[in-house]
Chains A and B, each alone.
Chain A
Amino acid sequence: MDYIVLAQQIANGLVNGMTYVLIATGLTLVFSVLHIINFAHGEFYMLGAFFTYFAAKLLGVDYISAAVIATLAVAALGVLANRLFFWPLRKEHEFTILLSSLGLALLLTNGGELLFGADPKYVDSPFADSIVQAGQLVVTQQRVLIFVVGAVILLALNLFIRHSRMGKMMRATAQNPEGAALTGVNIRQVYTVTFVLACGLAALAGALVGPTAMIFPTVGSWAVLKGFIVVILGGLGSIPGALIGGLSLGVIEALAGGYISLGFAQAIGYAIIIIVLLWRPQGLFGIARRT
């Protein structure tokens, strides 16, 4: 019996962890390529969930199509966000860019509250309440979906960055922006693609997680915090780091909450991150920061 509870908690943790991974991957991508810490990242997660809700409601499409539409729409918004809030500031101090993203986050949250209304909403999915039972383990189909889609998308992203031309340009920019520009990399295009990918990933996470909880315009702040912790834990700029970091944080929180104290679960998560950072300041998979 006890092993079943343990296995159940680990399964819960892995699914929550996968949502952290999806959120963190976008953050880490923007940081590694553009050296921007984007506080508004969580708001794109929020928009992903809301767009899914409205796409299903206003266009009358099913959940899967709504999620795809929302992901694409928010990815397109990424172009706009970059053009207005990040590209013009690329030469400014990092604190200035950070504050600009904080302003964007406030704008989207409060604008969302105004546009979408204060009432919580529920993204209806046919998979939300359908239970998959494996032995005595109970998981909903939606949670299985989160895990599988997350894994597939990460794999695809990894292939894209490793093998496509754009992926190579992004890596070149990450290593040395000036050098990359000199060799003919279109930095502006790199900025755009990076934001499109990051915002799309965040929106996808929102669309997937939407049906597991109620959505409201302030969910983004939660998402960005989790994303940051995972990114730092795994190592800034490292996609495998985001994967391992996210899954471990999810499992750590589930076990800490399940066996020690639910209220302290988050604090225990933080404590572990602090220990990891003191041991490896660059994070589990990070490379030491070059100055």
Chain B
Amino acid sequence: MPSRILLPLVIVLALAAPFLTANTYFHHLMVLWMLFSLLALSLNVIIGYIGELSFGHAAFFGIGAYTAALIGMNFGLAGIPGLVLAAIVAGLFGFVIGYVSLRIVGPQFAILTLGFGSIIYTITNYWVDLTRGPMGISNIQPLGLWGEGGPALTGARGYYYLTLFLVIAFAYACHALLNSRTGRAFIATRENAPLAASLGIDVFRIKLLGFVVATAVAGVAGGVYAHYLTVITPDVMSLQYVAALIIMVIVGGRGTIAGPIIGALIYVALLEALRALGPLRLVIFAALLTASVIFLPGGIVSLWRRITGEDTRPREAAE
């Protein structure tokens, strides 16, 4: 099994990567990659495991970012408390919105999440007293351990290790989940909800659980993002990010763990690499995206399967 050797190798490489170069811009890209990986992995819980498309995921990212920023600014708790609160607040929103929307499936669910996302965006944009509206919040302090004073993360390298840790932890959690009873319930629900229900699985509860976890993790990613970039605006909730995340998950390979991480890498690296092309950049990006969908409908991870014949799809029933 090559993956036995591959996985530790990848982790060692990931740990060593920032020391390969002193170029801080490269570190910045690595942080973005990891942040997007975390977000894509969380969205993958909804797309890949629950089997529904959410157009509202960026809103939870934004809620996390605003929560962490405001907690940091108003209570001086820019650190673990801020991130935990970001997760809780985003998760709470996820619970309410999931509770309301998950009874509905398919395109209607997608539009419901789009509607909720858009309402959250509009409120963020207009509630100037709380969020400073369209001008956003700038000068967010760096991430400390427990608020002000004490050690704080400043360089991109530190944020890289933090986000790498979060990605590995969440990826492991996804892996463990998929191999547990609950995980099997997830897959059964995605493949055939009525059948799963007849087997005694509480389909709605399983879906809600997945949705809340996904939104809470997106909230954490938002919190780290706010402290890292030190500036946020309502644009973090815009459709541009929603589309970007969906692209990462599906181009990488939905329902897998490596897929969203690879998808995030391709997104960040490709856009950066194409910068030299100037105005052609987004056209080429779109063309490559479309070509990859048409020629590799199973995502980039399906390439691996073709090479090794190994099944990377965790228990995906024939469609």
Q: Is A3 an interface residue (CB 8 A)?
A: no
- Identify the closest chain B residue to A104 (Cβ): B290
Residues 111-126 of chain B, each 1 if its beta carbon lies under 8 Å from chain A, else 0: 1101110110011011
Stretch in A45-53, A107-115, A126-134, A177-185 touching the partner: A107-115
What residues of chain A lie closer than 8 Å to B294, measured between beta carbons? Answer: 85, 88-89, 100
Q: Is A72 an interface residue (CB 8 A)?
A: no
Q: Are A270 and B119 in contact (CB under 8 A)?
A: yes
Q: Is B270 an interface residue (CB 8 A)?
A: no
Q: Is A120 an interface residue (CB 8 A)?
A: no
CA distance A103 to B119 in the complex (A): 26
CA distance A290 to B182 in the complex (A): 27
Q: Are B115 and A96 in contact (CB under 8 A)?
A: no
The interface on chain B, measured as residues whose beta carbon lies within 8 A of the other chain's beta carbons, has a size of 42
- Identify the closest chain A residue to B103 (Cβ): A281
Q: Are A274 and B112 in contact (CB under 8 A)?
A: yes
CA distance A278 to B282 in the complex (A): 38
What residues of chain A lie closer than 8 Å to B221, measured between beta carbons? Answer: none
Q: Is B285 an interface residue (CB 8 A)?
A: yes
Q: Are B282 and A264 in contact (CB under 8 A)?
A: no
Q: Is A282 an interface residue (CB 8 A)?
A: yes
Q: Are B279 and A113 in contact (CB under 8 A)?
A: yes
Q: Is B243 an interface residue (CB 8 A)?
A: yes
Give, as a whole number of angstroms, the nearest-CB distance from B193 to chain A: 8
Q: Are B107 and A274 in contact (CB under 8 A)?
A: no
Give which listed residue, A103, A228, A270, A289, contacts B289 with CB less than 8 A. Answer: A103
CA distance A93 to B319 in the complex (A): 8
Q: Is A266 an interface residue (CB 8 A)?
A: yes
What residues of chain A lie closer than 8 Å to B283, measured between beta carbons? Answer: 107, 110-111, 114
- Identify the closest chain A residue to B319 (Cβ): A93
Q: Are A102 and B125 in contact (CB under 8 A)?
A: no
Give, as a whole number of angstroms, the nearest-CB distance from B143 to chain A: 32
What residues of chain B lie closer than 8 Å to A273, measured between beta carbons? Answer: 111, 115
Question: Which of A89, A93, A99, A263: most chain B Cβ within 10 A?
Answer: A99
Residues 267-292 of chain B, each 1 if its beta carbon lies under 8 Å from chain A, else 0: 00000000000011011011101100
A contacts, CB < 8 Å to B:
31, 37, 85, 88-89, 92-93, 95-96, 98-100, 102-104, 106-107, 109-111, 113-114, 221, 225, 228-229, 232, 236, 261, 263-264, 266-267, 270-271, 273-274, 277-278, 281-283, 289, 291
B contacts, CB < 8 Å to A:
47, 53, 100, 103-108, 110-112, 114-116, 118-119, 122-123, 125-126, 194, 239, 243, 246-247, 250-251, 254, 279-280, 282-283, 285-287, 289-290, 293-294, 297, 319
In the A-B complex, the 7 residue pairs with the closest CB atoms: A103-B290, A106-B286, A267-B122, A110-B282, A107-B286, A270-B115, A232-B111
